[in-house]
Chains A and B, each alone.
Chain A
Amino acid sequence: MHISEGVLSPGVLIAGAGLTAAGVAVGLRRLENEEIPSVGILSAAFFVASLVHVPVGPSSVHLILNGLLGLILGWKAFPAILVGLALQALLFQFGGITTLGVNTLNMALPAVVCHYLFSWGVGIGARRLVFILSAFAGGCCAVFLSSMLVGFSLYLTGEAFLPVAKVVVAAHLPVMVIEGGLTAVCALFLRQVKPELLEGAYVPKLSSQPQNGSG
Protein backbone atom coordinates (compact mmCIF):
# COMPACT_ATOMS: atom_id res chain seq x y z
CA MET A 1 0.00 0.00 0.00
CA HIS A 2 2.85 2.35 -0.67
CA ILE A 3 2.20 5.40 -2.75
CA SER A 4 5.05 6.11 -5.13
CA GLU A 5 7.00 9.30 -5.43
CA GLY A 6 5.67 11.96 -7.76
CA VAL A 7 2.01 10.97 -7.55
CA LEU A 8 0.57 13.06 -4.76
CA SER A 9 -0.03 16.79 -4.71
CA PRO A 10 2.16 19.08 -2.58
CA GLY A 11 -0.72 19.78 -0.20
CA VAL A 12 -1.25 16.10 0.57
CA LEU A 13 2.49 15.50 0.96
CA ILE A 14 2.85 18.38 3.38
CA ALA A 15 -0.20 17.45 5.41
CA GLY A 16 0.96 13.84 5.59
CA ALA A 17 4.46 14.82 6.67
CA GLY A 18 3.11 17.21 9.29
CA LEU A 19 0.69 14.73 10.84
CA THR A 20 3.30 11.99 10.80
CA ALA A 21 5.79 14.28 12.50
CA ALA A 22 3.24 14.90 15.23
CA GLY A 23 2.48 11.19 15.60
CA VAL A 24 6.15 10.29 15.70
CA ALA A 25 6.76 12.97 18.30
CA VAL A 26 4.06 11.50 20.54
CA GLY A 27 5.45 8.01 19.94
CA LEU A 28 9.01 9.05 20.73
CA ARG A 29 7.97 10.76 23.94
CA ARG A 30 6.56 7.43 25.12
CA LEU A 31 9.47 5.40 23.83
CA GLU A 32 12.08 4.82 26.47
CA ASN A 33 15.66 4.17 25.57
CA GLU A 34 15.63 0.58 26.79
CA GLU A 35 12.65 -0.16 24.61
CA ILE A 36 14.38 0.81 21.40
CA PRO A 37 15.83 -2.63 20.63
CA SER A 38 12.53 -4.41 21.14
CA VAL A 39 10.55 -1.87 19.16
CA GLY A 40 13.25 -2.32 16.53
CA ILE A 41 12.39 -6.00 16.31
CA LEU A 42 8.76 -5.23 15.81
CA SER A 43 9.50 -2.82 13.00
CA ALA A 44 11.77 -5.44 11.51
CA ALA A 45 8.91 -7.91 11.81
CA PHE A 46 6.67 -5.42 10.05
CA PHE A 47 9.26 -5.24 7.30
CA VAL A 48 9.79 -8.99 6.94
CA ALA A 49 6.05 -9.74 7.12
CA SER A 50 5.66 -7.89 3.87
CA LEU A 51 7.61 -10.76 2.33
CA VAL A 52 5.13 -13.41 3.49
CA HIS A 53 2.79 -14.19 0.66
CA VAL A 54 -0.56 -15.64 1.52
CA PRO A 55 -2.36 -17.51 -1.24
CA VAL A 56 -5.88 -16.35 -2.04
CA GLY A 57 -7.32 -18.44 -4.80
CA PRO A 58 -5.14 -18.08 -7.86
CA SER A 59 -3.21 -15.02 -6.66
CA SER A 60 -1.60 -14.04 -3.40
CA VAL A 61 -1.40 -11.06 -1.09
CA HIS A 62 1.33 -10.03 1.28
CA LEU A 63 0.86 -9.37 4.95
CA ILE A 64 0.75 -5.85 6.36
CA LEU A 65 0.42 -6.51 10.09
CA ASN A 66 -0.02 -2.88 11.10
CA GLY A 67 -2.99 -4.01 13.22
CA LEU A 68 -0.89 -6.39 15.27
CA LEU A 69 1.80 -3.75 15.59
CA GLY A 70 -0.78 -1.23 16.79
CA LEU A 71 -2.24 -3.62 19.35
CA ILE A 72 1.19 -4.19 20.82
CA LEU A 73 2.77 -0.77 20.44
CA GLY A 74 0.09 1.92 20.51
CA TRP A 75 1.56 5.30 19.63
CA LYS A 76 4.99 3.80 19.34
CA ALA A 77 3.74 2.28 16.09
CA PHE A 78 4.43 5.67 14.50
CA PRO A 79 8.22 5.64 14.87
CA ALA A 80 8.30 1.87 14.28
CA ILE A 81 6.41 2.13 11.00
CA LEU A 82 8.31 5.24 9.94
CA VAL A 83 11.60 3.40 10.25
CA GLY A 84 10.23 0.25 8.60
CA LEU A 85 8.99 2.25 5.64
CA ALA A 86 12.19 4.29 5.37
CA LEU A 87 14.12 1.05 5.10
CA GLN A 88 11.68 -0.34 2.56
CA ALA A 89 12.21 2.78 0.49
CA LEU A 90 15.98 2.53 0.75
CA LEU A 91 16.25 -1.19 0.15
CA PHE A 92 13.39 -1.95 -2.21
CA GLN A 93 12.38 1.48 -3.52
CA PHE A 94 8.83 1.06 -2.22
CA GLY A 95 7.72 4.63 -1.59
CA GLY A 96 10.39 7.27 -1.20
CA ILE A 97 11.60 10.33 0.68
CA THR A 98 8.80 12.79 -0.03
CA THR A 99 6.00 10.26 0.40
CA LEU A 100 7.43 8.87 3.61
CA GLY A 101 5.18 11.10 5.67
CA VAL A 102 1.93 10.19 3.92
CA ASN A 103 2.78 6.50 3.74
CA THR A 104 3.63 6.38 7.43
CA LEU A 105 0.45 8.18 8.34
CA ASN A 106 -1.65 5.80 6.25
CA MET A 107 -0.24 2.77 8.04
CA ALA A 108 0.38 4.09 11.54
CA LEU A 109 -2.77 6.07 12.21
CA PRO A 110 -5.00 3.00 11.76
CA ALA A 111 -2.62 1.09 14.02
CA VAL A 112 -3.12 3.66 16.78
CA VAL A 113 -6.88 3.73 16.25
CA CYS A 114 -7.07 -0.03 16.53
CA HIS A 115 -4.98 0.14 19.63
CA TYR A 116 -7.53 2.37 21.31
CA LEU A 117 -10.46 0.33 20.04
CA PHE A 118 -9.32 -3.21 20.64
CA SER A 119 -6.20 -3.55 22.78
CA TRP A 120 -8.29 -4.00 25.92
CA GLY A 121 -9.53 -7.25 24.43
CA VAL A 122 -6.12 -8.80 23.84
CA GLY A 123 -4.88 -8.61 27.41
CA ILE A 124 -3.66 -11.77 29.05
CA GLY A 125 -6.73 -12.00 31.23
CA ALA A 126 -9.22 -11.67 28.38
CA ARG A 127 -11.62 -14.52 27.71
CA ARG A 128 -10.62 -16.62 24.71
CA LEU A 129 -13.52 -15.59 22.52
CA VAL A 130 -13.13 -11.90 23.33
CA PHE A 131 -9.44 -12.24 22.68
CA ILE A 132 -9.91 -13.85 19.27
CA LEU A 133 -12.56 -11.37 18.21
CA SER A 134 -10.54 -8.35 19.32
CA ALA A 135 -7.41 -9.53 17.57
CA PHE A 136 -9.41 -10.30 14.43
CA ALA A 137 -11.09 -6.91 14.53
CA GLY A 138 -7.75 -5.20 15.14
CA GLY A 139 -6.09 -6.80 12.13
CA CYS A 140 -9.11 -6.32 9.93
CA CYS A 141 -9.87 -2.77 10.89
CA ALA A 142 -6.30 -1.56 10.51
CA VAL A 143 -6.10 -2.78 6.94
CA PHE A 144 -9.50 -1.34 6.12
CA LEU A 145 -8.62 2.08 7.51
CA SER A 146 -5.25 2.02 5.78
CA SER A 147 -6.80 1.31 2.41
CA MET A 148 -9.33 4.09 3.04
CA LEU A 149 -6.55 6.52 3.89
CA VAL A 150 -4.57 5.55 0.81
CA GLY A 151 -7.68 6.07 -1.28
CA PHE A 152 -8.33 9.36 0.45
CA SER A 153 -4.77 10.61 -0.15
CA LEU A 154 -5.19 9.86 -3.83
CA TYR A 155 -8.62 11.43 -3.97
CA LEU A 156 -7.36 14.62 -2.31
CA THR A 157 -4.69 14.86 -4.96
CA GLY A 158 -7.30 15.05 -7.69
CA GLU A 159 -10.87 13.96 -8.28
CA ALA A 160 -9.67 12.01 -11.28
CA PHE A 161 -8.10 9.57 -8.84
CA LEU A 162 -11.49 8.51 -7.48
CA PRO A 163 -11.77 5.30 -9.52
CA VAL A 164 -8.22 4.37 -8.61
CA ALA A 165 -9.00 5.00 -4.97
CA LYS A 166 -12.06 2.77 -5.18
CA VAL A 167 -10.03 -0.04 -6.74
CA VAL A 168 -7.45 0.25 -3.96
CA VAL A 169 -10.10 -0.10 -1.27
CA ALA A 170 -11.90 -2.92 -3.08
CA ALA A 171 -8.67 -4.82 -3.64
CA HIS A 172 -8.03 -4.74 0.08
CA LEU A 173 -11.34 -6.24 1.12
CA PRO A 174 -10.12 -9.86 0.88
CA VAL A 175 -6.80 -8.79 2.42
CA MET A 176 -8.73 -7.41 5.40
CA VAL A 177 -10.32 -10.75 6.18
CA ILE A 178 -7.10 -12.67 5.78
CA GLU A 179 -5.16 -10.16 7.77
CA GLY A 180 -7.77 -10.31 10.54
CA GLY A 181 -7.67 -14.09 10.63
CA LEU A 182 -3.90 -14.23 10.63
CA THR A 183 -3.65 -11.57 13.30
CA ALA A 184 -6.03 -13.59 15.46
CA VAL A 185 -4.15 -16.88 15.11
CA CYS A 186 -0.84 -15.12 15.50
CA ALA A 187 -2.01 -13.34 18.64
CA LEU A 188 -3.28 -16.64 20.03
CA PHE A 189 0.10 -18.14 19.30
CA LEU A 190 1.81 -15.31 21.16
CA ARG A 191 -0.58 -15.60 24.06
CA GLN A 192 0.22 -19.28 24.36
CA VAL A 193 3.93 -19.09 23.77
CA LYS A 194 5.15 -15.68 24.88
CA PRO A 195 2.39 -13.77 26.62
CA GLU A 196 4.77 -11.02 27.74
CA LEU A 197 4.67 -9.70 24.19
CA LEU A 198 0.97 -9.02 24.44
CA GLU A 199 0.31 -7.67 27.88
CA GLY A 200 -2.25 -5.11 26.92
CA ALA A 201 -0.55 -1.93 25.91
CA TYR A 202 2.66 -3.42 27.15
CA VAL A 203 5.81 -2.82 25.23
CA PRO A 204 8.40 -5.53 25.63
CA LYS A 205 11.19 -3.89 27.45
CA LEU A 206 14.68 -5.24 27.19
CA SER A 207 15.30 -4.00 30.61
CA SER A 208 18.77 -4.25 31.96
CA GLN A 209 17.56 -5.02 35.43
CA PRO A 210 14.91 -7.68 35.35
CA GLN A 211 13.83 -8.06 38.94
CA ASN A 212 13.03 -11.71 38.77
CA GLY A 213 14.18 -12.98 35.49
CA SER A 214 14.92 -12.21 31.95
CA GLY A 215 12.66 -9.25 31.62
Chain B
Amino acid sequence: MIVKEFAAGDSLIQRLDPRVKIVVATLFSVVVAVSTQWVVLVLALALGFCIVQVAGVPMKELIRRLVPVNGLITFLWFFLPFTFEGESLFSIGPLVATREGVYYVARISIKSNAIMVVLITLIASTSIFTLGHAMYELGIPKKITHLFFFTYRYIHVMHHEYLRLVNAMKIRGFRPRTNMHTYKALAYLVGMLFVKSYERAERVYNAMLCRGFRGRLYSLSQFSMKTIDIIFLILMLAVILGLVVLEWTRIA
Protein backbone atom coordinates (compact mmCIF):
# COMPACT_ATOMS: atom_id res chain seq x y z
CA MET B 1 0.00 0.00 0.00
CA ILE B 2 1.40 3.30 -1.08
CA VAL B 3 0.27 5.55 1.69
CA LYS B 4 0.56 3.44 4.73
CA GLU B 5 0.14 5.72 7.65
CA PHE B 6 1.51 4.31 10.78
CA ALA B 7 0.17 6.80 13.24
CA ALA B 8 -0.89 4.30 15.85
CA GLY B 9 -0.25 3.63 19.49
CA ASP B 10 -0.66 5.91 22.41
CA SER B 11 2.72 7.25 23.46
CA LEU B 12 3.41 10.63 25.01
CA ILE B 13 4.49 11.96 21.62
CA GLN B 14 1.26 10.72 20.08
CA ARG B 15 -0.81 12.85 22.40
CA LEU B 16 1.11 16.08 21.95
CA ASP B 17 -0.48 18.99 20.16
CA PRO B 18 0.46 18.54 16.49
CA ARG B 19 1.35 22.22 16.21
CA VAL B 20 4.01 21.79 18.87
CA LYS B 21 5.37 18.78 17.05
CA ILE B 22 5.58 20.62 13.73
CA VAL B 23 7.30 23.64 15.26
CA VAL B 24 9.83 21.50 17.10
CA ALA B 25 10.55 19.24 14.12
CA THR B 26 11.02 22.22 11.81
CA LEU B 27 13.31 24.15 14.14
CA PHE B 28 15.31 21.04 14.86
CA SER B 29 15.71 20.26 11.13
CA VAL B 30 16.82 23.78 10.32
CA VAL B 31 19.35 23.96 13.13
CA VAL B 32 20.83 20.56 12.32
CA ALA B 33 20.89 21.30 8.59
CA VAL B 34 23.10 24.35 9.08
CA SER B 35 25.29 22.97 11.88
CA THR B 36 28.84 21.85 11.23
CA GLN B 37 30.21 20.89 14.66
CA TRP B 38 30.69 17.23 15.43
CA VAL B 39 29.40 17.58 18.98
CA VAL B 40 26.23 19.23 17.81
CA LEU B 41 25.57 16.65 15.12
CA VAL B 42 26.22 13.67 17.34
CA LEU B 43 24.07 15.14 20.10
CA ALA B 44 21.31 15.82 17.58
CA LEU B 45 21.40 12.25 16.31
CA ALA B 46 21.30 10.93 19.87
CA LEU B 47 18.41 13.23 20.66
CA GLY B 48 16.59 12.05 17.55
CA PHE B 49 16.93 8.44 18.60
CA CYS B 50 15.69 9.24 22.10
CA ILE B 51 12.58 10.89 20.70
CA VAL B 52 11.85 8.09 18.26
CA GLN B 53 12.21 5.69 21.18
CA VAL B 54 9.73 7.62 23.30
CA ALA B 55 7.31 7.69 20.39
CA GLY B 56 7.50 3.92 20.24
CA VAL B 57 8.18 3.67 16.50
CA PRO B 58 8.98 0.03 15.77
CA MET B 59 12.63 -0.49 14.85
CA LYS B 60 11.76 -2.33 11.65
CA GLU B 61 9.57 0.52 10.43
CA LEU B 62 12.26 3.05 11.30
CA ILE B 63 14.93 1.21 9.35
CA ARG B 64 12.63 0.65 6.39
CA ARG B 65 11.99 4.37 6.21
CA LEU B 66 15.63 5.32 6.59
CA VAL B 67 16.58 3.25 3.54
CA PRO B 68 15.66 5.77 0.82
CA VAL B 69 17.49 8.58 2.62
CA ASN B 70 20.64 6.58 2.85
CA GLY B 71 20.51 5.69 -0.83
CA LEU B 72 21.73 9.11 -1.90
CA ILE B 73 24.14 9.26 1.01
CA THR B 74 25.74 6.00 -0.07
CA PHE B 75 26.06 7.46 -3.56
CA LEU B 76 27.88 10.47 -2.09
CA TRP B 77 30.27 8.18 -0.21
CA PHE B 78 31.52 6.98 -3.59
CA PHE B 79 32.40 10.50 -4.70
CA LEU B 80 33.07 13.09 -2.07
CA PRO B 81 35.98 11.41 -0.23
CA PHE B 82 37.90 11.51 -3.50
CA THR B 83 36.97 14.95 -4.73
CA PHE B 84 37.81 16.96 -1.60
CA GLU B 85 41.14 18.67 -1.34
CA GLY B 86 43.11 17.77 1.76
CA GLU B 87 45.26 15.36 3.63
CA SER B 88 45.29 11.94 1.99
CA LEU B 89 43.81 9.10 3.96
CA PHE B 90 43.98 6.09 1.63
CA SER B 91 43.92 5.46 -2.08
CA ILE B 92 42.25 3.10 -4.49
CA GLY B 93 44.26 3.01 -7.71
CA PRO B 94 44.65 6.56 -8.90
CA LEU B 95 41.90 7.84 -6.57
CA VAL B 96 43.00 9.47 -3.34
CA ALA B 97 40.56 9.78 -0.48
CA THR B 98 41.09 12.73 1.82
CA ARG B 99 40.42 13.06 5.51
CA GLU B 100 38.39 16.22 4.87
CA GLY B 101 36.29 14.45 2.29
CA VAL B 102 35.52 11.53 4.56
CA TYR B 103 34.67 13.84 7.45
CA TYR B 104 32.43 15.88 5.20
CA VAL B 105 30.37 12.89 4.05
CA ALA B 106 30.28 11.53 7.57
CA ARG B 107 28.80 14.81 8.75
CA ILE B 108 26.24 14.74 5.96
CA SER B 109 25.28 11.19 6.90
CA ILE B 110 24.76 12.11 10.53
CA LYS B 111 22.79 15.25 9.66
CA SER B 112 20.53 13.44 7.23
CA ASN B 113 19.73 10.65 9.60
CA ALA B 114 19.21 12.92 12.58
CA ILE B 115 16.72 15.08 10.67
CA MET B 116 14.96 12.09 9.17
CA VAL B 117 14.55 10.31 12.47
CA VAL B 118 12.75 13.33 13.85
CA LEU B 119 10.61 13.68 10.74
CA ILE B 120 9.70 9.99 10.95
CA THR B 121 8.70 10.45 14.58
CA LEU B 122 6.47 13.33 13.57
CA ILE B 123 4.59 11.41 10.90
CA ALA B 124 4.56 8.25 12.95
CA SER B 125 2.67 10.05 15.67
CA THR B 126 0.29 12.25 13.68
CA SER B 127 -2.09 11.52 10.83
CA ILE B 128 -1.47 13.43 7.63
CA PHE B 129 -4.86 15.09 7.86
CA THR B 130 -4.15 16.34 11.34
CA LEU B 131 -0.84 17.68 10.11
CA GLY B 132 -2.69 19.59 7.42
CA HIS B 133 -5.04 21.20 9.90
CA ALA B 134 -2.17 22.01 12.23
CA MET B 135 -0.27 23.67 9.37
CA TYR B 136 -3.28 25.83 8.72
CA GLU B 137 -3.44 26.79 12.38
CA LEU B 138 0.22 27.71 12.17
CA GLY B 139 -0.45 30.24 9.47
CA ILE B 140 0.27 28.34 6.24
CA PRO B 141 -1.99 29.95 3.61
CA LYS B 142 -5.42 28.43 3.29
CA LYS B 143 -5.03 27.71 -0.39
CA ILE B 144 -1.94 25.63 0.27
CA THR B 145 -3.55 23.63 3.04
CA HIS B 146 -6.60 22.98 0.88
CA LEU B 147 -4.39 21.91 -1.96
CA PHE B 148 -2.59 19.65 0.48
CA PHE B 149 -5.86 18.02 1.54
CA PHE B 150 -7.11 17.46 -1.96
CA THR B 151 -3.80 16.14 -3.18
CA TYR B 152 -3.60 13.74 -0.30
CA ARG B 153 -7.12 12.57 -0.89
CA TYR B 154 -6.57 12.07 -4.63
CA ILE B 155 -3.32 10.23 -4.14
CA HIS B 156 -5.37 7.39 -2.73
CA VAL B 157 -7.83 7.52 -5.58
CA MET B 158 -5.17 7.74 -8.26
CA HIS B 159 -3.09 5.05 -6.71
CA HIS B 160 -6.05 2.71 -6.59
CA GLU B 161 -6.89 3.46 -10.19
CA TYR B 162 -3.24 3.02 -11.08
CA LEU B 163 -3.10 -0.40 -9.46
CA ARG B 164 -6.27 -1.47 -11.19
CA LEU B 165 -5.00 -0.33 -14.57
CA VAL B 166 -1.71 -2.13 -14.00
CA ASN B 167 -3.64 -5.31 -13.20
CA ALA B 168 -5.78 -4.83 -16.29
CA MET B 169 -2.61 -4.64 -18.36
CA LYS B 170 -1.10 -7.66 -16.67
CA ILE B 171 -4.04 -9.94 -17.26
CA ARG B 172 -3.85 -9.10 -20.90
CA GLY B 173 -0.34 -10.40 -21.09
CA PHE B 174 1.49 -7.07 -20.83
CA ARG B 175 5.14 -7.22 -19.82
CA PRO B 176 7.16 -4.03 -19.73
CA ARG B 177 10.10 -4.22 -22.11
CA THR B 178 12.28 -1.70 -23.86
CA ASN B 179 10.12 -1.13 -26.93
CA MET B 180 7.61 1.26 -28.43
CA HIS B 181 4.61 -0.86 -27.55
CA THR B 182 5.59 -0.61 -23.88
CA TYR B 183 6.22 3.11 -23.96
CA LYS B 184 2.95 3.76 -25.72
CA ALA B 185 1.05 1.57 -23.27
CA LEU B 186 2.63 3.34 -20.29
CA ALA B 187 1.84 6.75 -21.76
CA TYR B 188 -1.77 5.67 -22.19
CA LEU B 189 -1.74 4.45 -18.63
CA VAL B 190 -0.64 7.85 -17.38
CA GLY B 191 -3.08 9.65 -19.67
CA MET B 192 -5.95 7.48 -18.51
CA LEU B 193 -4.93 8.10 -14.94
CA PHE B 194 -5.23 11.84 -15.55
CA VAL B 195 -8.59 11.57 -17.27
CA LYS B 196 -10.17 9.27 -14.75
CA SER B 197 -8.89 11.17 -11.80
CA TYR B 198 -10.07 14.41 -13.32
CA GLU B 199 -13.55 13.06 -13.70
CA ARG B 200 -13.51 11.57 -10.26
CA ALA B 201 -12.37 14.90 -8.83
CA GLU B 202 -15.24 16.58 -10.57
CA ARG B 203 -17.70 14.17 -8.99
CA VAL B 204 -16.13 14.46 -5.55
CA TYR B 205 -16.29 18.22 -5.75
CA ASN B 206 -19.94 18.05 -6.73
CA ALA B 207 -20.59 15.75 -3.79
CA MET B 208 -18.96 18.32 -1.54
CA LEU B 209 -21.14 21.10 -2.95
CA CYS B 210 -24.21 18.99 -2.27
CA ARG B 211 -23.20 18.85 1.33
CA GLY B 212 -22.98 22.56 1.72
CA PHE B 213 -19.26 23.06 1.01
CA ARG B 214 -18.44 26.73 0.59
CA GLY B 215 -14.69 26.80 0.42
CA ARG B 216 -13.91 26.10 4.02
CA LEU B 217 -12.75 22.81 5.44
CA TYR B 218 -13.56 22.20 9.07
CA SER B 219 -11.84 19.79 11.34
CA LEU B 220 -13.26 17.70 14.11
CA SER B 221 -9.92 17.51 15.85
CA GLN B 222 -9.58 20.42 18.20
CA PHE B 223 -6.13 21.52 19.08
CA SER B 224 -5.61 22.68 22.59
CA MET B 225 -2.34 23.40 24.31
CA LYS B 226 -2.19 21.47 27.53
CA THR B 227 0.40 21.80 30.27
CA ILE B 228 2.26 18.80 28.93
CA ASP B 229 2.49 20.46 25.50
CA ILE B 230 3.92 23.62 26.98
CA ILE B 231 6.44 21.70 29.05
CA PHE B 232 7.50 19.67 26.02
CA LEU B 233 7.73 22.78 23.85
CA ILE B 234 9.86 24.69 26.36
CA LEU B 235 12.07 21.69 26.96
CA MET B 236 12.68 21.10 23.28
CA LEU B 237 13.23 24.78 22.56
CA ALA B 238 15.81 24.83 25.31
CA VAL B 239 17.58 21.80 23.88
CA ILE B 240 17.57 23.24 20.36
CA LEU B 241 18.82 26.55 21.70
CA GLY B 242 21.54 24.60 23.46
CA LEU B 243 22.57 23.10 20.13
CA VAL B 244 22.64 26.54 18.56
CA VAL B 245 24.79 27.95 21.35
CA LEU B 246 27.15 25.03 21.13
CA GLU B 247 27.51 25.40 17.38
CA TRP B 248 27.98 29.15 17.55
CA THR B 249 30.44 29.28 20.46
CA ARG B 250 32.67 26.66 18.88
CA ILE B 251 32.84 28.64 15.68
CA ALA B 252 33.67 31.82 17.59
State yes or no: do A and B touch (Cβ within 8 Å): yes
Interface residues of A (CB under 8 A from B): 2-8, 10, 13, 24, 28, 31, 33, 36-45, 47-49, 51-57, 60, 63, 65, 79-80, 82-84, 86-87, 89-94, 96-98, 158, 160-164, 167, 178, 181-182, 184-186, 189-190, 193-194, 197, 204, 206, 208, 214-215
* Contact for A4 among B69, B79, B110, B151, CB less than 8 A: B69
Chain B 183-225 against A: per-residue CB contact (8 Å), 1 yes, 0 no?
Answer: 1101111111111011011101100010000010000000000
Q: Do A189 and B198 have beta carbons less than 8 Å apart?
A: no
Q: Do B151 and A44 have beta carbons less than 8 Å apart?
A: yes
Task: Give 16 new A-B contacts, CB below 8 A, not counting A93-B68, A182-B186, A194-B198.
Answer: A7-B72, A7-B108, A10-B33, A13-B34, A38-B201, A40-B150, A47-B155, A51-B2, A52-B190, A79-B144, A80-B151, A160-B84, A160-B85, A163-B79, A178-B183, A197-B195
Q: Do B83 and A96 have beta carbons less than 8 Å apart?
A: no
Q: Do A164 and B191 have beta carbons less than 8 Å apart?
A: no
A residues in contact with B49, CB < 8 Å: none
Interface residues of B (CB under 8 A from A): 2-3, 25-26, 29-30, 32-34, 65-66, 68-69, 72-73, 75-76, 79-80, 83-85, 101, 104, 107-116, 119-120, 123, 128, 131, 141, 143-144, 146-155, 157-159, 162, 176-178, 182-184, 186-195, 197-198, 200-202, 204-205, 209, 215
Q: Do A52 and B104 have beta carbons less than 8 Å apart?
A: no
Q: Do B190 and A49 have beta carbons less than 8 Å apart?
A: yes
Q: Do A208 and B116 have beta carbons less than 8 Å apart?
A: no
B residues in contact with A215, CB < 8 Å: 202
Complex CA gap A5/B66 in Å reads 12
Q: Do A97 and B29 have beta carbons less than 8 Å apart?
A: yes
B residues in contact with A90, CB < 8 Å: 119, 123, 128, 131
Q: Given the interface contacts A5-B116, A41-B201, does A91 sit within 8 Å of B128 by beta carbon?
A: yes
* Contact for B159 among A28, A48, A161, CB less than 8 A: A48
A residues in contact with B115, CB < 8 Å: 5-6, 96-98
* Contact for B215 among A33, A40, A185, CB less than 8 A: A33
* Contact for A41 among B84, B158, B182, CB less than 8 A: B158
Complex CA gap A123/B157 in Å reads 28
Complex CA gap A1/B211 in Å reads 40
B89 nearest CB across to chain A (Å): 14
Q: Do B112 and A7 have beta carbons less than 8 Å apart?
A: yes
A residues in contact with B154, CB < 8 Å: 40-41, 44
Complex CA gap A87/B114 in Å reads 20
B residues in contact with A44, CB < 8 Å: 150-152, 154-155, 157-158, 197
A-B contact pairs, 29 of them (CB 8 A): A3-B72, A4-B112, A6-B112, A13-B33, A28-B144, A37-B205, A44-B151, A44-B155, A44-B157, A49-B190, A51-B159, A53-B176, A82-B144, A87-B128, A90-B119, A90-B123, A160-B80, A160-B101, A160-B104, A161-B83, A185-B187, A186-B188, A186-B191, A189-B187, A193-B195, A194-B195, A197-B198, A206-B205, A215-B202
Complex CA gap A41/B43 in Å reads 41
Q: Given the interface contacts A44-B157, A56-B178, A79-B143, does A164 sit within 8 Å of B76 by beta carbon?
A: yes
A residues in contact with B109, CB < 8 Å: 6
7 closest A-B pairs by beta carbon, nearest first, are A40-B150, A6-B111, A189-B191, A185-B187, A44-B154, A6-B112, A5-B115
Q: Do B83 and A45 have beta carbons less than 8 Å apart?
A: no
Complex CA gap A94/B104 in Å reads 21
Q: Do B201 and A206 have beta carbons less than 8 Å apart?
A: yes
Q: Given the interface contacts A41-B198, A215-B202, does A97 sit within 8 Å of B80 by beta carbon?
A: no
Closest residue on chain B to residue A166 by CB atoms: B79
Closest residue on chain B to residue A168 by CB atoms: B75
Q: Do A55 and B144 have beta carbons less than 8 Å apart?
A: no
Q: Given the interface contacts A10-B34, A37-B204, A189-B191, does A97 sit within 8 Å of B143 by beta carbon?
A: no
